[in-house]
Structure 1
Amino acid sequence: MADPCWFPLLSLPPYPAERFAPLADRLAALLMTHNDLLLIQGEAMLALESVAVGLSRPGMHILNVVTSPYGLYFSQWLRRGGAQVHDAKASSGYPITLDAFDQALAAMPALDAVVLAHGEAASGIVNPLGEIAARVRQRGALLVVDAVASVGGHTLDVDGLGIDVAVIDPQKALGGPAGVSAISVSARAWPRLVTPAGYAQSCLSLAELKRQWLDRGRGALPGTPSAPDFWALESALDRLEQEGHIHLINRHLKAAQATRAGLRALGVVPWISDDACASSLVTAAPVPEKVDADALLADALSLGAALSPGVGPIARQLVRLHHTGAQAAFPAVLANVVAYGAALARNGHPADVAAAAAVITHHYLPLPGPPGDAHAEPTL
């Protein structure tokens, strides 16, 4: 009789050393890059901090785009290393505007690197990465991108955009484990990622990982890799390849479009009104004035919705409707919008739940109508 306290995940075999390099190559293909790809044995915050450690030192001039509290963390890590950091801060919960970025860029007498997040799960935004990348190339600076909340749900062409360092984690759109992350590093970035003396033997040293893994032929990773995390990452990539990357991106886009159409049918303007600036993984909806954020969220959660509060200063101003990974599908999208609308109504704010449900359903399963019928296809 099997031991009821023993779970199959606890008895997975070790992850074979010869599988690490092919796994890294699969992630590099996902990012559309020929750059080096490092596997990081930890959640993305570890990977991001390791980039800051390698990048920051006295004499470095870095422009850090802040569109969430995570951007402030990165700023602190950079300053700890002695770099001169200028934070280009967007309005709380919103993407950086190109005008604001251009002003910050023009104010930099010297520029070694620009750091920004592509997408922000904290508020459901995407920053204008393509336009920013072009401006950074013109200045000849390194471009460092946090793509954790965009990879898999948005197109990310690392080589085409000229991204020198990209940090990803499979836990969101890819539906993978949170315990493994990855960093792509360009050839021109390596000479500028210098490990401070105090980090010579640290797991935060990218140069040390390069020496111990890349330079030794990408065999066994240093330390004791977590077998469940690496098997899970491989399974997530298998699932991605079976679905197809383009289909995965389109599935997230459709979920975002249906969610935003449903909110508008409720009578609510999404937190990010411009569709071009909205994430495909998370949609933020406002907490109306005179509505208690805690009560609104509690009522929505009681209906089984995948909602959460905002992060940072905007925590009580919005709720986030998640349509990430497996949730980027009709059942979750419908449940989220209906629960949010029902919670609004319960807390005294008008919401047309029936109209929202009809719009979302029609978005996924259009009803037949006469040619030119405005209701034949949903509009955003």
Structure 2
Amino acid sequence: MTEPAAPLPAPRLGEPFLLTPGPLTTDFATKEAMLRDWGSWDSDFRAMTRTLCDRLLVLAGDRAGEYACVPMQGSGSFAVEAMLGSLVPKDGKVLVLANGAYGLRAAETLRYLGRAHTVIDKGDYLPPRGAEVAAALDADPAITHVVAIHCETSSGILNPLAEIAEAVHVRGRKLLIDSMSAFGAIPLDVGEIPCAALVSSANKCIEGVPGFGFVIARRDALEAAQGNSHSLALDLHAQWAYMEKTGQWRYTPPTHAVAAFLKALEIHAAEGGVAGRGARYARNRDVMVAGMRGLGFETLLDDRWLSPIIVTFFCPADPAFVFQTFYDLMKARGFIIYPGKLTVVDSFRIGVIGRMDEHVMARVVQAAADALAEMGVESAAPPAAALAERAKLAA
């Protein structure tokens, strides 16, 4: 049995821990990196952008130089829309794999873009499987692209990306991966998981701050994307081509967020990269889940689908439990949790990513116990109907 790691430093400046899927608690050195101003056209900042892209390509496993990294201003949803609107041609058709809010958001984005699409909707409890994807592709030769969510944070499901990618690859279709809340902590090697592109964000598992997302795409897919985009600002091909030519972002870049991200990448590497970051997050999850179950809470998902990113819990059936009160009491104890995003049952979520460790997770559990006691909640067990619904849908 391995020895527990030494505690990480507590947040500075009286900050609470953010138990969310991002923005999240960052290292103080990452915050300090934003104390300098940078000229967006200056050679020093162009070198920072180049370093950022090079390091992300290494993290993605691009050993053959077949991919390019294209950062895109805005939140992760901006980068997802840029990927979909640029890499899917106007006459393409997309199969969206949904098991939560972010798969459905991808479908909604495609509707706005006017791209033909169809959806496999698995609800809140189960992942899409490779065999289902294969059957859908065999039944509809018009499908050109498949969109998969790596970690669906509305429920916390870690989807089986390898079997999905295999089904797509052998049928000659193109896979687009939303790895927004997984890249940097869960392995995603483009040499092993064939894809046309993946997308993530600065303020997730790399533990940077909000301000930009990034698309890591095959160069041939980017070359073929010219003229596809519906948008001037979100034209991924134009952003890539301009960066290739000048080393600059087309429009004003989030300079301070880039500086913070480079410091976050240094910290990520010092921790052991994807393996080290993922191991800490997994310990966080295991300690927190065991403790919450010890209090009587139930997770939405079976253990095999629990991601080391965020965990969804059923709200207790006890009439003394009110989520907003529970939220406020947790915040007063230094922890900001996340409301649920499910349509079938009442739930809440606790994230395990960011600059925190298993020692913090033990404190989270104690805070939850204290909050329940203060509310007068005698049992944290969920409603019987919620458990019955889970059992029915998971059968």
> What TM bracket, shorter-length normalisation?
0.7 to 0.9
What residue number does 1:369 align with? Answer: none
**Does 2:300 match 1:271?**
yes
TM-score (norm 2): 0.78
**Does 2:257 match 1:229?**
yes
**Does 2:145 match 1:120?**
no
Q: Give the Cα–Cα distance (whole angstroms) in 2 for the partners of residues 205 and 9 of structure 1.
A: 28
Q: Give the Cα–Cα distance (whole angstroms) in 2 for the partners of residues 317 and 96 of structure 1.
A: 23
Equivalent position to 1:242, from 270, 278, 302 = 270
Equivalent position to 1:293, from 323, 348, 353 = 323
What residue number does 2:385 align with? Answer: none
Equivalent position to 1:308, from 338, 343, 355 = 338
Residues 342-362 of structure 1: per-residue CA shift (max 9 Å, x gap): 43453424369xxxxxxxxxx
State the 1:166 CA deviation. Answer: 0.5
Q: Is the 8 A contact 2:229 2:235 kept in 1?
A: no
Aligned letter for 1:267? G
**Does 2:350 match 1:325?**
no
Gaps of 5+ in 1: 1-6, 353-380
- 1:57–1:78 CA distance, 2 compared to 1 (3 A): farther
- Secondary structure (helix, strand or coil) at the match of 1:110 reads coil
Q: Give the Cα–Cα distance (whole angstroms) in 1 for the partners of residues 229 and 372 of structure 2.
A: 55
- 1:92–1:8 CA distance, 2 compared to 1 (3 A): closer
- 1:238–1:340 CA distance, 2 compared to 1 (3 A): same
Q: Give the Cα–Cα distance (whole angstroms) in 1 for the partners of residues 230 and 335 of structure 2.
A: 46
What residue number does 2:311 align with? Answer: 283
What residue number does 1:72 align with? Answer: 104
Q: Which has the larger radius of gyration?
A: 1
Identity %: 24
What residue number does 1:45 align with? Answer: 77
Q: Is the 8 A contact 1:148 1:169 kept in 2?
A: yes
Q: Is the 8 A contact 2:316 2:379 kept in 1?
A: no
Greater displacement, 231-240 / 95-104:
95-104
Q: Give the Cα–Cα distance (whole angstroms) in 2 for the partners of residues 48 and 73 of structure 1.
A: 10
- Secondary structure (helix, strand or coil) at the match of 1:161 reads coil
- 1:56–1:156 CA distance, 2 compared to 1 (3 A): closer
The number of equivalent residue pairs is 339
TM-score (norm 1): 0.81
Q: Is the 8 A contact 2:87 2:221 kept in 1?
A: no
Q: Give the Cα–Cα distance (whole angstroms) in 2 for the partners of residues 263 and 310 of structure 1.
A: 16
Q: Is the 8 A contact 1:194 1:207 kept in 2?
A: yes
Q: Give the Cα–Cα distance (whole angstroms) in 1 for the partners of residues 346 and 133 of structure 2.
A: 25
What residue number does 1:209 align with? Answer: 239
- 1:350–1:157 CA distance, 2 compared to 1 (3 A): same
Q: Give the Cα–Cα distance (whole angstroms) in 1 for the partners of residues 114 and 87 of structure 2.
A: 10
**Does 2:276 match 1:251?**
no
- 1:223–1:238 CA distance, 2 compared to 1 (3 A): same
Q: Is the 8 A contact 2:129 2:164 kept in 1?
A: no
- Secondary structure (helix, strand or coil) at the match of 1:159 reads coil
Residues 121-157 of structure 1: per-residue CA shift (max 9 Å, x gap): 2222211111111111111111101111001221111
Equivalent position to 1:62, from 94, 102, 106 = 94
**Aligned ranges 1:118-267 → 2 under 5 Å:** 118-196=150-228, 199=231, 202-214=232-244, 216=245, 219-245=247-273, 246-267=275-296
- 1:323–1:197 CA distance, 2 compared to 1 (3 A): closer
Q: Give the Cα–Cα distance (whole angstroms) in 2 for the partners of residues 311 and 247 of structure 1.
A: 29
Aligned letter for 1:158? V
Q: Give the Cα–Cα distance (whole angstroms) in 2 for the partners of residues 338 and 121 of structure 1.
A: 24
Q: Is the 8 A contact 1:305 1:335 kept in 2?
A: no
- 1:117–1:164 CA distance, 2 compared to 1 (3 A): same
Gaps of 5+ in 2: 1-31, 382-395
Residues 312-359 of structure 1: per-residue CA shift (max 9 Å, x gap): 526x621111211212x023211222223343453424369xxxxxxx
